[in-house]
Amino acid sequence: MKRELFGIKWWEKCVKCFLAGAVVSLLLAGDALAQDDWTWGGEMDPLQEQFEVVHYSLDLEILPKIKGINAVMEMTYRPLGTLDTLRLDLISNYEVVKVESNGRVQRFEHHDDILDIYPDSLSQQVKIYYRGRPPVAENPPWSGGFTWSEDSNGDHWVGLSCQREGGKIFMPCLDHPSSKASNGVDLYIKVPFPYFVAANGRLLNQATSSGYSYYQWATSYPISNYNVNFTMGRFHELTKAYTSTDGSKVPMEVYVLTEHKENAPGLLRVLENSVQTQEKYFGPYPFPKDKIAVVETPYLGMEHQTINAYGNNFQYTKVGDTAFDRLLHHELGHEWWGNKVSVGDWKDFWIHEGICSYGDLLYYEKNAGMEAYLERAAATKKQIENEAPLVKGDNINSAEAYHPDIYTKGAFVMHSLRFVMGDEVFFPMLKAFLQEDRFTYTHQVTTKDFVDFAEQYSGKDLEGFFDIYLYSTKLPKLKVKRKRKRRYDVRLSNVDFSLPVEIKTSDGIEVVELSSDAVRIKSDEKIVVDPNGWYLFDE
């Protein structure tokens, strides 16, 4: 590792730079700031279309006693056009002390949660010194910010969540879902001794001096702003080497509060079961150069890349012969759907949450059988509200995208698509999608990308299926008309496409292609259309 000044020397230099402007503690005095109504995404600011982020390096000191931070963010970027103004996002809670480029102080303005920097050269790096009190999370992770908590021993326990608010609540950044740091992020975190910091990527260095501990974490992959994360606490660590389905050896780690040390082995087993299930259906773990990990947090959970937040209090459910934690499994699933495959516009958010929620159902199938899977699918179906289309208009923000149906209806659409395509096509299609360079890591996807790929892979015309289930609240209307002599006419009255549908008759279950044209079914008993519940119908 070439960074000359990591560890004590590096932090000595950082502190000297920081204190050159003013006395930090005075500016941090007073009450912690409450949450504001921050969101991210929406229409891209034209000034932010003029560059792309290559790398973030965040040097940050956590001050738990006064609930504040001191930080230096160094960003490497690539100009895409004329760049007279480098526009970043950083909430106005913070004071920006100084901005530098190539060692020269740069002119800047910071107001209304926007940081405008006026670079005096063609340098592609900028260093921002800032400090202040982060917003306090009111209802994490749904209403995010910093969570300043304590464990039962009275030790500090600090977490960060910002899926709704974006990365600007803790660092200067280009805060838009279409932006990922293509070369990842380095985190240099300073905390009071003896606290530990669990964060993204791999732990490269750690040091202790003069009552403080220092940690350097670095990611090997592109990362979204809201996935950059760190948790401070008194942790017990348990690790093992995990062999992925592609043969990669990946560190698997759990960090639990020291008071919960006895829960670590069970949590590690639960994590391993979930990874094995995700890999069965979605392919190899996406971040083998870093790690598979969860850290116990003072809030419920979140899909932070390679360091999933876990706050479900070790409440497991028995599924088959396994202990299952639905929250852990769901957040882990985002490593595939959300972190590797990521959307650039929140209108396509169902790809993150819907497909990931479908993976929750698949855990039941793998570990308890098909009947258990169908029961969970039926329970999911009952929760669907169907109040608005899953895919809304372009350029919506994180708050506008959120609705329970992106989980429930999104999962059920995948359940239906499975039946339309058949297992022998559906599951290989999902794995193939996750292996496409054009859809993964730095390359964000759209619903159209997914639909087009599914059609191409399956050789089926799926336009009507996706149009009605993703872009509409309308449902196929099922019409069953009983005829004489034990015959029934069955059709879908309001669609211009066909669906393969199971129909249970006196002779058993048969699959019939239903469309607007009636299909004659013979049965000595009353027929049951879609007995296993593969579709949402207007009945």
Mean pLDDT to the nearest integer, 64-92: 96
DSSP assigned state of 395? S
Residues 167 and 245 in one domain: no
In the chain, pLDDT over 90 holds for what percent of residues?
90
Residues 255 and 118 in one domain: no
Domain for residue 537, yes or no?
Answer: no
pLDDT of the residue at 246: 97
Residues 160 and 95 in one domain: yes
Domain for residue 170, yes or no?
Answer: yes
- Tell me if 495 sits within 8 A of 501, measured CB to CB: no
DSSP assigned state of 33? P
Residue 20 has pLDDT above 90, yes or no: no
pLDDT of the residue at 393: 86
Residues 245 and 362 in one domain: no
Whole-structure pTM value: 0.93
Domain for residue 536, yes or no?
Answer: no
2: pLDDT confidence band, cut at 50, 70 and 90?
very low
Vertex 363 angle, CA 317 and 237, to 5°: 65
Using the structure block, give the residue that is written with the tokens 């190539």: 102
- Tell me if 195 sits within 8 A of 148, measured CB to CB: no
Residues 6 and 82 in one domain: yes
- Tell me if 75 sits within 8 A of 210, measured CB to CB: no
pLDDT of the residue at 9: 53
Q: What is the pLDDT of residues 463-516, one digit of tens each?
A: 999 999 999 999 999 999 998 888 999 999 999 999 999 999 999 999 999 999
Residue 518 structural domain? 478-529
406: pLDDT confidence band, cut at 50, 70 and 90?
very high
- Which of 470, 504, 521 finishes a domain? 470
Kindly state the tokens that stand for 441.
């890591």
Between 2-6, 108-112, 161-165, 355-359, the lowest mean confidence (pLDDT) is in 2-6
Residues 91 and 208 in one domain: yes
pLDDT of the residue at 17: 42
The residue that leads in pLDDT, 149 or 81, is 149
How many CB atoms sit inside 10 A of residue 111's CB? 8
* CB-neighbour burial class of residue 425 (10 A; exposed 0-12, middle 13-18, buried 19+): middle
The domain that holds 438 is classified in CATH as 1.10.390.10
DSSP string, 250-293: EEEEEEEEGGGGGGHHHHHHHHHHHHHHHHHHH-S-S-TTS-EE
DSSP assigned state of 44? P
- Tell me if 99 sits within 8 A of 261, measured CB to CB: no
Number of H helices, E strands in the chain: 11, 30
Q: What is the pLDDT of residues 271-303, one digit of tens each?
A: 999 999 999 999 999 999 999 999 999 999 999
Q: What is the pLDDT of residues 192-206, one digit of tens each?
A: 999 999 999 999 999
Q: What is the pLDDT of residues 447-472, one digit of tens each?
A: 999 999 999 999 999 999 999 999 99
Residues 293 and 422 in one domain: no
Residues 431 and 379 in one domain: yes
pLDDT of the residue at 120: 87
- Which of 198, 230, 262 finishes a domain? 230
Do strands 308-310 and 292-296 pair parallel, antiparallel, or not at all (unpaired)? parallel
Domain for residue 539, yes or no?
Answer: no
C-alpha–C-alpha distance, residues 189 and 298, integer Å? 19
Across-strand partners of 308? 294
Residue 7 has pLDDT above 90, yes or no: no
Q: What is the pLDDT of residues 407-438, one digit of tens each?
A: 999 999 999 999 999 999 999 999 999 999 99
- Tell me if 502 sits within 8 A of 511, measured CB to CB: yes
Sheet with strand 478-483: strands edge to edge = 478-483, 487-492, 519-522
Mean pLDDT of the chain: 93
Residue 14 has pLDDT above 50, yes or no: no
Residue 240 has pLDDT above 70, yes or no: yes
Residues 202 and 112 in one domain: yes
Q: How many domains does the chain have?
A: 4
Domain for residue 398, yes or no?
Answer: yes
- Tell me if 110 sits within 8 A of 93, measured CB to CB: no
| The dihedral formed by the CA atoms of 410, 175, 131 and 58, expressed in degrees to the nearest 10 | 90
pLDDT of the residue at 227: 97
Kindly state the tokens that stand for 191.
């905390």
12: pLDDT confidence band, cut at 50, 70 and 90?
low
Give every CB contact of residue 210 below 8 A, 6+ residues apart in sequence.
none
- Which of 175, 197, 230 finishes a domain? 230
Q: What is the pLDDT of residues 308-324, one digit of tens each?
A: 999 999 999 999 999 99
The domain that holds 80 is classified in CATH as 2.60.40.1730
Residues 186 and 66 in one domain: yes
Mean pLDDT to the nearest integer, 246-261: 98
In the chain, pLDDT over 70 holds for what percent of residues?
94
Residues 174 and 190 in one domain: yes
Residue 30 has pLDDT above 50, yes or no: no
Residue 352 has pLDDT above 50, yes or no: yes
- Give CA separation, 407 vs 30, 385, 464, in Å: 40, 11, 21
- Give CA separation, 321 vs 252, 281, 318, 363, in Å: 22, 19, 7, 12
Residues 351 and 316 in one domain: no
pLDDT of the residue at 35: 55
